[in-house]
């Protein structure tokens, strides 16, 4: 198949790479001139293990090309996949401006499509509140196509990709959820995911749209809950590690160990954004979800706690190395990283801070990742160390270990404050 992808961030690029690997041809569309240029050079605008190799393959074989505008290129496409961002608005809801604009562009471009055996499947993967297709997207298409929408099939397909394992997650998802107008299967989507084995759910739009909210809010809740228990244990001299082992051994009632290990605060581009948006929706409809309301405050409290634990006993002005700045290892995503917050607190407290995160290249950051990182840590470029020699020469008094691999740094004898796993 030939597939157009609108928005080449983490989800869009991962989808493109896996589709290329499956033998499809891909057109990438993004407003960023630098992203388009890098993709057409076979380079990835982001770091994700295995991603760039597949993008390079697609360019070399002529099965991947990127543009800033779609023009008339939808004419021979089978699917248009929308992966543009839905960042948090000031009130916590999702900003749907990018979705609306891309929908308008696709609606205009698809009006003149010739008659074909199957309509163009327009698949949305961006996280959106329930009712987004019914109340926002479908009306935009009907404004250009008329009431029947015979030339397009609107589908909602939430993604369950984790950064640093995104390619593996694409081929081994926990489930495949597809929202359609009548809750019935889509032949095009079945063909697209034909080789992927996972529980498959065909549901209405709204059930599919809320799925990601529920999943991410529960993941965030598990992290916040585990960290609250870890803080209590820490204050009472109890081993949080031992309590965690006991708790997760109960696979009948406590479900699974994922997201339930006391350690770092949650962050990244999904959990904070979706918790805020679901909280906003709950307040709007009067659902009074007090646990959800407390998740972000609990996470903020844990960030303060991690700073206290990391600097316990450290002398004023000590030379501190923060091992890891992105919100998780094997990623260069700094959006809402709790370690940016920690770095800022260390600087404000007067510590002489340096940072080690070899996956980060400030000049390669783009879009919201670029904006967030420098808005919240403008000193980042000067704080990052580039070589192991610089690590050794610096003479640190303390390593604040956000990655759990401080031993690999070769700084024997330097005290380590491990914050990714509470003792």
Checking 84-87 for CB contacts under 8 A at 24+ apart, the result is 84/6, 84/7, 84/9, 84/126, 85/7, 85/9, 85/126, 85/367, 85/368, 86/126, 86/127, 86/128, 86/273, 87/273, 87/368
Q: Decide if 270 is catalytic.
A: yes
- 360: which DSSP letter? -
Virtual torsion, Cα 18, 23, 25, 29, nearest 10 deg: 0
Calpha distance 400→306 (Å, rounded): 10
* Order of strands across the sheet that contains 319-323: 352-356, 319-323, 398-401, 416-418
Burial of 67 (0-12, 13-18, 19+ CB in 10 A): middle
Quickly tell me which residue has 């989808």 as its tokens: 15
Q: Which listed residue (18, 77, 233, 270) is catalytic?
A: 270
Strand-strand pairing, 176-180 and 2-6 = unpaired
User: What angle in degrees, to the nearest 10, is found between the helix axes of 290-310 and 205-236?
Assistant: 40
The crossing angle, in degrees rounded to 10, of helices 290-310 and 338-348 is 50
What does 61-109 look like in DSSP terms, one character per residue? Answer: TT-EEEES--TTGGGG-SEEEE-----B-TTSSB--HHHHHHHHHHHHH
* Nearest by Cα to 64 from 12, 28, 104, 22: 28
Q: What are the tokens at 225?
A: 């809950």
Give the contacts of 57 (CB within 8 A, at least 6 positions apart).
20, 21
Q: Is 194 in a helix, a strand, or coil?
A: coil
Which positions are annotated as active-site residues?
270
């Amino acid at each position: 198949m030939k597939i157009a992808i609108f928005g080449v961030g983490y989800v869009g690029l991962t989808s493109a790479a896996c589709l290329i690997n499956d033998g499809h041809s891909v057109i990438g569309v993004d407003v960023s001139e630098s992203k388009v240029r890098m993709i057409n050079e076979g380079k990835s605008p982001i770091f994700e293990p295995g991603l760039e190799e597949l993008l390079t393959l697609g360019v070399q074989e002529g099965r991947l090309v990127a543009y800033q505008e779609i023009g008339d290129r939808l004419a021979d496409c089978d699917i248009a996949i929308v992966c543009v961002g839905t960042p948090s608005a000031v009130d916590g809801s999702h900003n749907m401006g990018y979705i609306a604009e891309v929908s308008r562009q696709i609606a205009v471009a698809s009006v003149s499509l010739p008659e074909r055996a199957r309509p163009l499947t327009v698949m949305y993967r961006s996280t959106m509140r329930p009712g987004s297709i019914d109340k926002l997207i479908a009306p935009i298409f009907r404004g250009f196509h008329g009431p029947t929408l015979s030339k397009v099939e609107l589908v909602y397909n939430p993604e369950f990709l984790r950064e640093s394992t995104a390619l593996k997650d694409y081929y081994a998802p926990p489930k495949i959820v597809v929202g359609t107008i009548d809750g019935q299967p889509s032949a095009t989507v079945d063909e697209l995911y034909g080789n992927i084995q996972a529980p498959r759910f065909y549901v209405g739009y709204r059930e599919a749209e809320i799925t990601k909210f529920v999943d991410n809010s529960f993941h965030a809740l598990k992290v916040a809950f585990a960290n609250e228990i870890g803080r209590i244990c820490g204050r009472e001299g109890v081993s949080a590690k031992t309590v965690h082992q006991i708790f997760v051994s109960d696979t009948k009632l406590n479900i699974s160990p994922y997201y339930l290990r006391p350690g770092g605060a949650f962050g990244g581009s999904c959990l904070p954004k979706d918790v805020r948006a679901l909280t906003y929706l709950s307040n709007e409809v009067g659902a009074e979800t007090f646990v959800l309301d407390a998740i972000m405050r609990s996470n903020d409290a844990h960030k303060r706690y991690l700073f206290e634990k990391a600097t316990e006993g450290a002398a004023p002005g000590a030379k501190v190395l923060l091992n890891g700045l992105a919100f998780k290892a094997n990623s260069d995503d700094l959006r809402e990283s709790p370690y940016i917050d920690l770095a800022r607190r260390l600087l404000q407290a007067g510590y002489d801070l340096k940072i080690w995160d070899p996956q980060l290249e400030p000049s390669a950051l783009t879009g919201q990742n670029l904006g967030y990182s420098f808005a919240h840590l403008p000193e980042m470029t000067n704080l990052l160390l580039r070589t192991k020699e610089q690590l050794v020469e610096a003479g640190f008094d303390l390593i604040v270990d956000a990655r759990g691999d401080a031993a690999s740094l070769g700084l024997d004898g330097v005290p380590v404050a491990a914050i990714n796993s509470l003792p």
